[in-house]
Amino acid sequence: MNNNTILKALERMGCKGCMTGQGFRGLASTILHGQGYNHEHIKL
């Protein structure tokens, strides 16, 4: 997924300027790993 796609989605959710696409990816990865999802399925 393109970084601009993530930024546009964050903007539509009202988070413009509060998070970057890379920050969102990192947060999602951390949460999914913490919930025990397989690493091969998380590679974002």
Give the Cα separation of 42 and 16 in Å (integer): 25
pLDDT at 44: 59
Closest CA to 3 of 16, 27, 26, 20: 20
Tell me the DSSP string of 1-44: --HHHHHHHHHHTT-TTT--HHHHHHHHHHHHHHTT--HHHH--
Residues 1-44: pLDDT tens digits? 777 888 898 899 998 888 888 888 889 999 999 999 999 988 75
This model's pTM is above 0.75: no
CB 23 within 8 A of CB 38: no
pLDDT at residue 23 in the model: 87
